[in-house]
Amino acid sequence: MSEYKLASKQHPLHKSQVQVGDELVGGDELSIIAGPCAVESAEQLDEIAKGVASAGVRFIRGGAYKPRTSPYDFQGLGKEGLKLLREASNKYQLKVVTEVLGSFLIEEVYPYADVLQVGSRNMKNYQFLKELGRLDKPVLLKRGMSSSVKEWLLAAEYILLSGNENVVLCERGIRTFDTSSRNTMDIAAIPLVKELSHLPVIADPSQGTGKRSLIKPLSLAAIAAGADGLMIEVHNQPENALS
Ligand code: PEP
Ligand code: MN
């Protein structure tokens, strides 16, 4: 038996597709999640939501509670941001993907989100993962920035083991010696997790590279490598973005 008992490709009880309302992640179509890094205002989100919806995107992303490296940076609008996401979702028929920073916020974020995002910094918060495993909403599990593929899959295993089968993995780049882009996109991890597990996997070249010119080539590379979708950060005024 492999270490990935529940996430293993051989496991009979698990499906390789995650249903988010009427949207399927891991099916024949790519799932594109687009939106700002952080929700900043009603005008900002409305403009972005309108743009992504008209491009055919079905999922909006946006942080209401942001895990910023510096406590002096914009921390997100909090509950107000969650409400704006829900409004955009209703207006443009978009599913909401937003980060939950920890157990203390599950209750608050749950009603506003269609997919609960676990950030890179929380991938190893195992008690938190167990709590998310007891919920009935899909979890998008980012890879820890310094985590191996094995650690990442075992983190997914925590959620599955607690009863939530609906886990989508997200490769978002790892830290390496090379700082020429923000992180190093581990494209090889995409087919590798597909070999080891049944879970759908998407790629986030925005956190992965931190560089606008690299988003398109890395998106194409991720899809060629077998990704089930993409998470892309977009902004109506990128030069003025708060994060
Ligand atoms: C984000 O999606 O904006 C984010 C903070 O992601 P990560 O946890 O991958 O850094
Ligand atoms: Mn971001």
Residues 6+ apart with CB under 8 A from 60: 33, 34, 35, 48, 49, 52, 53, 85, 88, 89, 92, 94, 95, 96, 97
Q: What is the pLDDT of residue 184?
A: 98
Model pLDDT for residues 183-233, shown as the tens digit of each residue = 999 999 999 999 999 999 999 999 999 999 999 999 999 999 999 999 999
Model pLDDT for residues 76-122, shown as the tens digit of each residue = 999 999 999 999 999 999 999 999 999 999 999 999 999 999 999 99
Model pLDDT for residues 170-191, shown as the tens digit of each residue = 999 999 999 999 999 999 999 9
CA-nearest residue, atom 3 of ligand 1: 37
Q: What is the pLDDT of residue 232?
A: 98
Q: What is the pLDDT of residue 206?
A: 98
Q: What is the pLDDT of residue 13?
A: 65
Mutate to test the pocket of ligand 1, among 172, 182, 183, 206 (most ligand atoms within 8 A of CB): 172
Model pLDDT for residues 1-46, shown as the tens digit of each residue = 478 888 888 877 677 899 999 999 999 999 999 999 999 999 999 9
Model pLDDT for residues 49-61, shown as the tens digit of each residue = 999 999 999 999 9
CA-nearest residue, atom 9 of ligand 1: 120
Q: How far is CA 5 from CA 13, 88, 102, 147, 160, in A?
A: 11, 38, 26, 19, 10
Average pLDDT along the chain:
96
- Three-class SS of 21-45: CCEEECCCCCEEEEECCECCCHHHH
CA-nearest residue, atom 1 of ligand 1: 37
Q: What is the pLDDT of residue 53?
A: 98
Q: What is the pLDDT of residue 8?
A: 87
CA of 154 to the centre of ligand 2 (A): 24
Contact by Cβ (8 Å): 33, 200: no
Strands 18-20 and 23-25 come out as antiparallel
pTM for the model: 0.97
DSSP classification of residue 9: T
Q: What is the pLDDT of residue 4?
A: 87
Q: Using a pLDDT cut of 70, give the percent of the chain over it.
A: 99
Q: Tell me, using a 6 A CB cutoff, whether residue 26 lines ligand 1.
A: no
Q: What is the pLDDT of residue 12?
A: 74
Q: Which residues pair with 169 in a beta bridge?
A: 141, 201
